[in-house]
Amino acid sequence: MHRWLDLVLKHPRKTVLVLGALAATGFAPLGWWPLTLLAVAALIEFTVRASSFRQAALLGWCFGVGHFTLGNNWIATAFTYQANMPAWLGWVAVVLLSLYLAVYPALAAAAAWLIGRRNYGALVAAFAGCWIVSEWLRSWVFTGFAWNPLGAVALGGFARPGLAAVLPWLGTYGLSGLIALLAGAWLVAVKRGQRDWRGAALVLLPVGLMLLPAPVPSPVSSGRAYTLVQPDIRQEILNDPAWFEAQYQRLAALSKGQGERLVLWPESGVPDYLRDGYPERYYLDTYGADPALARRRLGMAIGPEALLLTGTVDLEIDRDRAIGARNSVTALDGSGTIRGSYAKAHLVPYGEYLALRWLLEPLGVERLVPGGIDFWPGPGPRTLDLGRFGKAGVQICYEIIFSGQVVDPDRRPDFLFNPSNDGWFGAWGPPQHLAQARLRAIEEGLPVLRSTTTGISAVIDGHGVVRQHVPRLVPGRLDGQIPPALAPTLFSRLGNVLPLLWAIALLAAGMVASRRRNG
C-alpha cells in the first residue's frame, strides 16, 4: 500500500487527471457518488501537499481536464449528426472545452491553498468555499457553461431527492460546496489515524447524508390537466423535409384527447413557420406554405378546449430577407390562434450561433444546428399567462441548467416548461440534463415538465421527485395533472446570493482555522 502511495505521489499530475475522471462517474447515468467523494478528497490531499500556489493551480487544472472530458463526452456525439465537419472533431471539441473549464477547479485549488496551506481543517473549509465561487463563475463567464455542477451527484433515484433536498437553503452551488465538505470529512478521518467515534462519524456521516431517505409528500395536483408528448423523432431525420409530414402525424396521434388540457410538445416540434408576414419563399422552405393553415392543423390536432405549447422557430426579417432566427416556444389554442410566445435567451455557442464567425467560417467551421443564419437571444426568463392553464415559466433545452436564472423574479410561475431536443447527445447527455432539471425544481420549489424529442421526458414535482417519465428512445405520452407549486423557497428569494453567502462563511472559517493552527 505504501509503495503504491509513493508511486502515486511521484506522479501527481497524472494521478489527479485520473481522479478528475473518477469524480465524473458520480454524475448520471452512472451515479457512482462514492468515487466522486474519494476523488475530491484525494484532490484536497494533493492540494495540501502542493509546494506552491502554481503547483496547486496546476493540480486543480489537471483534475478539471479529466473531470470535464469524461463528464461532457456526450458533446462529441453531436458531431456525428452533421456532414460538413469530421466526426472526430467532436472529441477535439470536448478536450478543448475541458482545457478551458478546468481553469475553474484550478482557481478553487489555488485559492484554497493560499488560505489553508498545510492545515487540513482550514483547507477543507476553504476548498469548499472556493469551489462554490468557481462554479458560480463558470455559470456566467463568457456566457457560462454550468453543466454538471458537483452537487448533482447528491440526487437520489427518481423517487427521492436524496441530499439534494437541502437545495432550497443552499442553492446548487452551495450543495456543491457541501459535497466538497463531505469529501474532506473522509480525508480528515484518514489523516487523524485514530479509530474512535469521531473518526467513525467522519466516515459515516457523509454516507448517511448521501443516502438520506428524505420524506416525500404524497402526490397532489393543481387541477390542471396535461398531455406531454415524446415523439421519438431521431436526429437523423428531424430536419429532413421528406419526414416532416410523418413527424406531424406522429405528434398529432400521440396528442389525441378531449377536454381542457395543456398539450406539451418538444423543442423542434413544429418545422413550419407559424408567424404571418414573412416573404413567401420562407414558408415554402418548410412543409406548409400557409402559416394560417399550419396553425389550424395544430389546433385540430389538440382539440378545441386544449392549449398547445410547442417548440417553433421565428424569423427576424429585414428588407425582405431573414437576418436572424429565434428558438421559440409558441402557445397556440384550439382555434389555431397564437396566445403567446417565449424566445430562448441562453443560446448554445457553436450550436445555435457561431461565435467568431468572421474567423471560423473561412476555416470550414460551422454551427451544429442546420441553417445559414444565427439564432438571436430573447430577453431572458419570462412568465406566460395561459389563463385557466396557469402561469408558465419557459426554459428551452439547456437553459434549465443555469441555477438562479430560470424564473422571472417579478412574476413567479406555477410551473416550468422545459422543451428540449436531446437527440444530439447520446446516452450520457439526456440523464444528466434531466438531473439538472430536477435541481431547478427543488431549489425553486416549482414543478418542471420536460417534453423532449427522444427522451428522457418527465414530470418533476417541486420536491425533485420524478412523478412520470418516458424512457429514452421510446415514443409515448404522459397524462395527468400538473403538480402544484410549493411556497417560494429561500433560494427563490435570494438567488445565487445565498450560495455566495455560504461561500463567504466557509472561507472565513478556513481563515480562522488557519490562523489558530499557525498561531
CB neighbours of 227 closer than 8 A, spacing ≥ 6?
255, 257, 261, 262, 263, 264, 306, 477, 478, 479
Q: Any bridge partners for residue 383, and if so which?
A: 393
Task: Please identify every residue annotated as catalytic.
Answer: 267, 344, 397
User: Grid coordinates representing 69?
Assistant: 472530458
Q: Kindly provide the residue ranges of all beta strands, DSSP E only, lying in 369-475, ordered along the sequence.
A: 383-385, 391-394, 415-417, 448-450, 457-460, 466-470
Q: b or e along 202-220 (b: 16 or more beta carbons within 10 Å of the residue's beta carbon)?
A: beeebeebbebeeeeeeee
Mean pLDDT of 175-192: 90
At residue 426, the pLDDT reads 87
Which 8-state DSSP code applies to residue 261?
-
Domain ranges of the chain: 2-216+496-518, 225-483
Are 258 and 303 in contact, with CB atoms under 8 Å apart?
yes
Residues 383, 216: Cα–Cα separation, whole Å: 28
Q: What are phi and psi of 171, to 5 degrees?
A: 80, 165
Segments in 313-371 forming alpha helices (H): 357-360
Instruction: Answer yes or no: are the C-beta atoms of 123 and 117 closer than 8 Å.
Output: yes
pLDDT given at position 329 = 97
pLDDT in tens, 76-115: 887 777 656 677 777 888 999 999 999 999 999 999 999 9
Could you give the 3-state DSSP secondary structure of residue 489? coil
What is the rounded average pLDDT of the residues 220-226?
86
pLDDT value of residue 516 = 73
Q: Options 1.10.760.10, 3.40.50.1170, 3.30.70.100, 3.60.110.10; which CATH number does 225-483 get? A: 3.60.110.10
CA 416-140-431 angle, to 5 degrees, is: 50
Decide the pairing of beta strands 307-318 and 321-333.
antiparallel
Q: What DSSP designation does 483 have? A: P
Reading the block at residue 467, the C-alpha cell is: 412523478
Range of weakest confidence among 55-59, 119-123, 205-209:
205-209
Where does the pLDDT of residue 358 fall: very low under 50, low under 70, confident under 90, or very high at 90 and above?
A: very low
What pLDDT does 517 receive?
60
Give the residue-averaged pLDDT of 470-493. Answer: 96
Integer angstrom CA distances of residue 38 from 136, 179, 390, 403: 23, 11, 45, 26
pLDDT tens, residue by residue, 387-409:
999 999 999 998 999 999 999 98
What is the spatial distance between Cα 293 and Cα 378, in angstroms, rounded to a whole number? 27
**Is 50 exceeded by the pLDDT of residue 519?**
no
pLDDT for residue 321 is more than 70:
yes
Q: What amino acid occupies position 220? A: V
Question: Are residues 415 and 447 in contact, defined by beta-carbon separation less than 8 angstroms?
Answer: yes
**C-alpha to C-alpha distance for 338 and 353, rounded to whole angstroms:** 27
Dihedral (Cα; 402, 403, 405, 406), 10-degree rounding? 90
The pLDDT value given to residue 159: 87
Summarize pLDDT for 8-57 with one digit per residue, the tens.
Answer: 566 677 889 999 999 999 999 999 999 999 999 999 999 998 989 999 99
Q: 133 vs 20, 30, 52, 347, 389, CA distance in Å?
A: 19, 26, 21, 23, 39
Task: Specify the pLDDT at position 211.
Answer: 85
* SS3 of residue 310 by DSSP: strand
Q: Which residue has the higher pLDDT, 200 or 407?
A: 407
Give burial (CB, 10 Å; 0-12/13-18/19+) of 405. buried
Q: Residue 2: what pLDDT?
A: 43
Per-residue pLDDT at 354: 63
User: How far, rounded to the nearest angstrom, does the alpha carbon of residue 311 sit from its chain's CA centroid?
Assistant: 18
In contact, 456 and 434? CB cutoff 8 Å: yes
pLDDT-derived band at 253, boundaries 50, 70, 90 = very high
Q: Which residues contact 399 (CB under 8 A, 6 or more apart)?
A: 344, 345, 346, 405, 406, 418
Higher-confidence residue: 201 or 243?
243
Query: What is the tens place of the pLDDT at every residue in 368-386?
Result: 566 668 888 999 999 999 9
**Residue range 426-452: average pLDDT?**
96
What is the average pLDDT across 482-499?
Answer: 96
- Name the residue type at position 319: R
**Which is higher by pLDDT, 492 or 206?**
492
Q: What sign does the CA torsion over 493, 169, 175, 165 have?
A: negative
449 touches 416 (CB < 8 A): yes
Q: Determine phi and psi for 515, rounding to 5 degrees.
A: -70, -40
Residue 477, pLDDT above cutoff 60: yes
Which helix (DSSP H) or strand (DSSP E) does residue 8 occupy?
helix 2-10
- Average pLDDT of span 205-227: 80
Supply the pLDDT for residue 1.
38
The pLDDT tens digits for 141-176 are 988 999 999 999 999 899 889 999 999 999 999 999
Average the pLDDT over 351-372 and give the result.
59
**For strand 225-230 and strand 262-264, is the pairing parallel, antiparallel, or unpaired?**
parallel
Residue 418 has pLDDT above 90, yes or no: yes
* Cα 54 from Cα 72, distance rounded (Å): 26
Instruction: Point out which residues pair with 460 in neighbouring strands.
Output: 448, 466
Q: Are strands 383-385 and 338-343 parallel, antiparallel or unpaired?
A: unpaired
The conformational region for residue 81 under phi > 0 = left, psi -120 to 50 = alpha, else beta, is alpha
Region 308-331 average pLDDT? 92
Alpha-carbon span 148 to 111, nearest angstrom: 22
Q: How does residue 238 score in pLDDT terms, banded at 50, 70 and 90?
A: confident
Mean pLDDT across 349-359:
62
SS3 449: strand
Q: What's the CA gap between 370 and 325, in Å, rounded?
A: 12
Mean pLDDT of the chain: 89
